[in-house]
């Protein structure tokens, strides 16, 4: 595990304007010293085939002792190769939002363990309300995040209300 952590910290990632800067603001030096799983979540987000700049999200779930249980990134449902990736069409059926599986959902479903109870989820973007529900129902107990770019949206506000009510740190 220590070896993997070292490799992760050596990965050079493209700067996209919000990742590292937000992480620095949120976590200061502790982020780099202590939390390579956030790095993993950020690496995973580059597997997403969503468009660059704003659309890629990664998640990594780990036990309390930091062993990784799962990773996931936002993507279209399996075998659904013809769905739209755009987001500006007035018809909601022509936008990605109604189809895409979020990183957190994929990470919970991809788990290599019976469950993810008491685990921590590391995410590159603060979870939306639907992901908060998945996190709560799956028994995850802690959320660590990089960026919170939709913090003023009702979805993220609802997410924070639910996570707090459920006692998730
Ligand atoms: O908790 C979340 C919230 C969002 N996502 C995904 C859904 C979309 O594919 C992108 C966001 O795209 P924007 O172009 O920035 O709106 O993030 C997620 O995986 N988890």
Whole-angstrom distance, CA of residue 112 vs CA of residue 16? 31
Ligand 1 centroid–CA 151 distance in Å is 13
Q: What are phi and psi of 41, to 5 degrees?
A: -60, -40
In the chain, the percentage of residues whose pLDDT exceeds 70 is: 76
The finding on whether 131 has its CB within 6 A of some atom of ligand 1 is yes
pTM value is: 0.79
- pLDDT attached to residue 104: 97
Give the mean pLDDT of the chain. 79
The finding on whether 45 has its CB within 6 A of some atom of ligand 1 is no
- pLDDT attached to residue 64: 85
DSSP state of 75: B
Q: Counting atoms of ligand 1 from 1, which one is nearest the CA of 131?
A: 1
ipTM: 0.93
Ligand 1 centroid–CA 3 distance in Å is 31
Whole-angstrom distance, CA of residue 87 vs CA of residue 89? 6
Query: Mean pLDDT across the stretch 115-137?
Result: 95
């Amino acid at each position: 595990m220590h070896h993997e952590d070292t490799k992760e910290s050596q990965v050079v990632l493209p700067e996209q304007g919000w990742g590292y800067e937000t992480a620095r603001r949120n976590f200061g030096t502790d982020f780099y010293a202590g939390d390579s799983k956030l790095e993993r979540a950020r690496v995973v987000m580059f597997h997403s085939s969503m468009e660059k700049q704003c659309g890629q999200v990664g998640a990594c779930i780990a036990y309390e002792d930091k062993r990784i249980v799962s990773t996931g990134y936002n993507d279209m449902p399996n075998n659904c190769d013809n769905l739209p990736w755009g987001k500006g069409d007035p018809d909601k059926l022509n936008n990605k939002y109604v189809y895409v599986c979020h990183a957190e959902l994929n990470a919970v479903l991809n788990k290599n363990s019976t469950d993810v109870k008491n685990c921590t989820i590391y995410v590159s973007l603060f979870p939306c309300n639907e992901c908060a529900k998945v996190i709560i129902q799956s028994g995850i107990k802690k959320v660590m995040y990089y960026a919170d770019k939709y913090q003023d949206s009702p979805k993220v506000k609802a997410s924070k209300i639910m996570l707090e009510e459920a006692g998730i740190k």
